[in-house]
Amino acid sequence: MSVRQHWRLAAAALALAVVTGCGSDGAESATSDGASDTRVFAADNGEINIPVDPERVVATGYAVPVLIEADAALVGISTWKRGLTMMTEQDRATYDRLPKVAGELAAETNYEAIAAAKPDLIVIGVPKPVLGDIDMKRLESIAPVVAIGPKLPDAWREVSRKQVDAAGRAAHFEATRQAYEKRAGELKARYGDVLSRLKFGHLGAYGEVAKGTFHREFAGSWGTNIAQDVGVNYYGQVKEKGGGALDVTEYPALEELPESLGEADAITYTLEADGSPGEAVKHVLDSALWKELPAVKAGRVFPLAHTEASTYESALTTLEALDKAFAPLLAR
């Protein structure tokens, strides 16, 4: 039985023992003249009265993959192209069949399509600063809206918990969390000793070749946070925090590569979904400055796939990629 099959069975068992709507974010429940139970839910947009057991849910942004995985009662979603390669066959089929009521960007929200879906709950999974791109009053006229988005990349753990809780699927979330932590613990036990001796840097995927920049990610960023769970130590910090993801990632000029990553004993770098380096990463890998870095000369460079996981289920895929990447360390 695969890890994913195990957690889905565990989720079903846990659901029998969990009272719907008892998540920590629900302040209280109320009933009005036979209407569905409601509760007060603390979200980025305030304390919102929502159904205890939503029956028609619209999800956008980061809420899409986790609510698909949790078998929430979805009737419409935004597109989520970045996560398609990490979905199971079953989840991808669900994603494909659901009506798309928004695009990749918050500004690409189709209010008419959302209204036509007749939701009783709308879960907006975008960072708080992006809420300005959404007509919240218009959405609120359709159904209760909870905005639950990440402030930092590694916040996906708490964000996804709250999103699932809002949709009344907390038991399923707990099962996936346990499966992830078990697997991460196994890998930390396997690689922890050797990893603890190394000081890591990470090359991300979003440098801009035309501008001559590369993408350096620090602890807590997309490319690093899951690797940290298995014992990787990423050193350093951004020169100037810019808020949100810019607190843990920066875009230096390529000529700053020796200064940025010269102290690293080892370097990880982000791969595309097909296992190849993207254009921005390949531009760095092909440079003379990269080849002169001490970590590169020592052969301690590790390509990582699936670094943008934002749910515990998809992060299991990242853990398997980490296991594959770090396997050579045990052969030395």
Query: What are 180-197's pLDDT values in tens digits?
Result: 999 999 999 999 999 999
Domain count, the chain: 2
Structure tokens that stand for 328 in this block: 């050579």
Model confidence at 172, pLDDT cuts 50, 70, 90, reads: confident
User: Which has the higher per-residue pLDDT, 42 or 24?
Assistant: 42
Strand 301-304's sheet: what is its strand order? 249-250, 216-217, 200-203, 266-270, 301-304
**Neighbouring residues of 309: CB distance < 8 A, sequence distance ≥ 6:** 83, 86, 156, 226, 315, 317, 318
Closest by alpha carbon to 104, among 85, 77, 122, 128? Answer: 77
| pLDDT at position 100 | 98
Gap between the Cα atoms of 232 and 224, Å rounded: 8
Q: State the DSSP string of 225-291.
A: HHHHTTT--B----SS--SGGGGSEE--BGGGHHHHHTT-SEEEEE--TTSS--HHHHHHHTSHHHH
| pLDDT at position 297 | 98
Same domain, residue pair 201 and 304: yes
CATH of the domain at 250: 3.40.50.1980
Domain encompassing residue 199: 194-330
Same domain, residue pair 228 and 308: yes
Closest by alpha carbon to 155, among 63, 229, 86, 220? Answer: 220
Per-residue pLDDT of 131-144, as tens digits, reads 899 999 999 999 99
> Which SS3 state, helix, strand or coil, does residue 147 take?
strand
Gap between the Cα atoms of 205 and 150, Å rounded: 20
Whether the predicted pLDDT of 9 surpasses 60: no
Gap between the Cα atoms of 269 and 176, Å rounded: 26
Model confidence at 315, pLDDT cuts 50, 70, 90, reads: very high
Gap between the Cα atoms of 180 and 317, Å rounded: 10
Same domain, residue pair 203 and 246: yes
Whether the predicted pLDDT of 31 surpasses 50: no
| pLDDT at position 25 | 52
Share the mean pLDDT of the chain.
Answer: 90
Distances in whole angstroms, Cα of residue 326 to Cα of each of 158, 199, 260: 27, 14, 23
Distances in whole angstroms, Cα of residue 274 to Cα of each of 79, 85, 86, 277, 309: 20, 9, 11, 9, 15
| pLDDT at position 273 | 87
Q: Residue with structure tokens 């939503």?
A: 54
Answer whether 238's CB lies under 8 Å from 246's CB: yes
Same domain, residue pair 160 and 64: yes
**Neighbouring residues of 123: CB distance < 8 A, sequence distance ≥ 6:** 57, 58, 59, 60, 63, 67, 146, 148, 163, 166, 167
> What is the sign, positive or negative, of the torsion defined by CA atoms of 287, 292, 295, 301?
positive
| pLDDT at position 29 | 45
Gap between the Cα atoms of 207 and 17, Å rounded: 47
Give the residue-averaged pLDDT of 13-21. 34
**Neighbour count for residue 248 (Cβ, 10 Å):** 23
Per-residue pLDDT of 101-126, as tens digits, reads 999 998 999 999 999 999 999 999 99
Q: Confirm whether 181 is domain-assigned.
A: no
Same domain, residue pair 47 and 158: yes
Same domain, residue pair 198 and 160: no
Same domain, residue pair 155 and 268: no
